[in-house]
Amino acid sequence: MTDTTQAVFKARRTTLAVPGSSTRMIEKSKGLNSDAVFLDLEDAVSPLVKAEARLNIIAGLNEGGYDNRLRSVRINAVSTQWALDDVNTVVRGAGHNLDAIILPKTGTVSDVQWLSGRLDELEKEIGLAAGSIGIEVQIEDALGLVNVDAIAASNSRIETLIFGPADFMASINMRTLVVGQQPVGYTEGDAYHYILMRLLIAGRAFGKQVIDGPYLQIKDLEGLAKVSHRSAALGFDGKWALHPDQIDTINEIFSPSQDDYDHSELILDAYDFHTSAAGGARGAVMLGSEMIDEASRKMALVMSAKGRAAGLVRTKSFDPEA
């Protein structure tokens, strides 16, 4: 993976979930400060109104107003009676204004291949270039986690791995009703650490973004901050928001601090200078009291990309004489 590609995958991504059944929320989502929006046909939509929701989503996508934000639609799981109609209707109706399809409850490679095959046919049918519509896979049960390496490597359309915490907790019989919080009685370590790291390693191994799922207690911003800090610290690229009030908290936590951003830029400047002929062509150098080398440069690239994506402006300049 090149440094440029790596920087793109390390940019912050706060994704707002919007029920496809609500035309009001679809319209409101266009003016909110999220990095991405997904319009939902799955859990947030009653079976009785899924057909209507498809039409709402098509209208919302075609009307535009999302600027440069990523636009995704979450279809129903492959095993349901709605999945095929979801894909056919939405892509035929708004494929030219759609960036990705979110595939929930992805358990096996065959789930991905079914969706990719259908997208192959639809892109050709409506005149889109092959591979124009990406796939974001949502891992929501034990089977999906066991197969996550194979899933991540299975198809070039896959752009993102997403953790689905509520369904996952149910699938393993975790004894809590609060999504993301530690189960009562679990006092040693973090009950989610293995799951999150497993997803993260699979994503990084195959060049995918990795996104943390939602926190359902929408008025509990303190709880949201706690679970967001956990996945942000590990290296996740972003998190889903279920309510507009959650966006600012997630944006802040998944963006670097000003000090960290400034320091990353100083590392990059110092390394570039000291490894050049003018700077002595050295491989390991000092930045103040800190030794930096090629590994330091790679770490700084990640932080600087996050800062730039968040719109931070550096406040410190590198001085080779200091």
Residue 61 and residue 9 share a domain? yes
Q: What is the pLDDT of residues 78-92, one digit of tens each?
A: 999 999 999 999 999
Residue 178 and residue 39 share a domain? yes
Burial class (CB within 10 angstroms; exposed 0-12, middle 13-18, buried 19+) of 151: buried
How does the average pLDDT of the chain come out, rounded?
Answer: 92
At residue 11, the pLDDT reads 67
Residue 160 and residue 26 share a domain? yes
Total domains, the chain: 2
Residue 202 and residue 139 share a domain? yes
Residue 240 and residue 117 share a domain? yes
- Of 301, 322, 313, which Cα lies nearest the Cα of 262? 313
Expressed as residue numbers, the domain containing 136 is 3-253
Q: Hey, how many other C-beta atoms are within 10 angstroms of the C-beta on 193?
A: 11
CA distance 23 to 59: 9
Q: Are 244 and 217 in contact (CB under 8 A)?
A: no
Q: What is the pLDDT of residues 268-290, one digit of tens each?
A: 988 888 888 888 888 887 788 88
What confidence category does residue 10 fall into, taking pLDDT thresholds of 50, 70 and 90? Answer: low
Percent of the chain with pLDDT over 90: 74
In single-letter form, the type of residue at position 7 comes to: A
At residue 51, the pLDDT reads 98
Which residues are CB-contacts of 217 (< 8 A; sequence separation ≥ 6)? Answer: 178, 179, 223, 224
CA distance 253 to 209: 17
User: Is residue 320 one of the residues assigned to a domain?
Assistant: no
Q: Where are the alpha helices (DSSP H) in 10-81?
A: 23-29, 50-63
Highest averaged pLDDT of the listed ranges 7-21, 149-163, 249-263: 149-163
Distances (CA, A) of 114 to 39, 135, 285: 21, 11, 51
What is the CATH classification number for the domain harbouring 23?
3.20.20.60
At residue 321, the pLDDT reads 77
pLDDT at 2 over 80: no
pTM attached to this predicted model? 0.90
Q: Are 67 and 35 in contact (CB under 8 A)?
A: no
pLDDT at 322 over 90: no
At residue 90, the pLDDT reads 98
